Amino acid sequence: MNLNKCVFLDRDGVLNEERGEYTFTDSDFLIIDKVPEAIQLLKEHGYLLIVVTNQGGIAKGIYTKADVQRCHQKLQAVCNDNINAIYYAPAHPSVSASLARKPDSLMLERAIAKYSIDVTQSYLVGDRKRDMDAALKVGVTPIYVENTETPPTGITKVKNLYEAAEFILKQKTGM
């Protein structure tokens, strides 16, 4: 069986601007500079691109699944429909438990099974320790986008998704 290589992508802080509060309206969902270019570059080199995002505001009743879908439609439109799949965990620990919600790894496990992903050739780009933890649980290489959190030790750190894409391609192609 042919296995696919993949880049899993956290959403807030990696693809769209992190606002410090829930982002669920079109007007607040602002794509970070060079994200479409990074997505295109990874796609051209044969990577599946799968978003894995916690969306606990749904469980809290702050916004709806339809709100999340509208943000994701905007993301796909800006990125020329180059994202293969978007998984989101609507639970929040204050309301309901879920193995899908990062730092747990069920979203990744589902995608790995569905898309026949080779974890040894795959990455997760995220901006929180919980993203790194989820990646490590399934054997995917984590890449940390620097933010205000103290970065995890021993994990590659980058400034943004475009820098992560360059790092990935350098590892795999020697570009």
Active site residues: 10, 12
Number of C-beta neighbours around residue 40 at 10 A: 15
Q: Which of 112, 58, 60 is nearest to 71 (CA)?
A: 58
Strands 85-89 and 156-158: unpaired
Dist. CA 9–CA 50, nearest whole Å: 6
Dist. CA 70–CA 67, nearest whole Å: 5
Q: Which amino acid is located at 48 in the chain?
A: L
Give strand pairing partners of 42: none
101 Cβ neighbours under 8 A, 6+ residues apart: 54, 56, 89, 91, 92, 93
Beta carbons of 145 and 125 less than 8 angstroms apart: yes
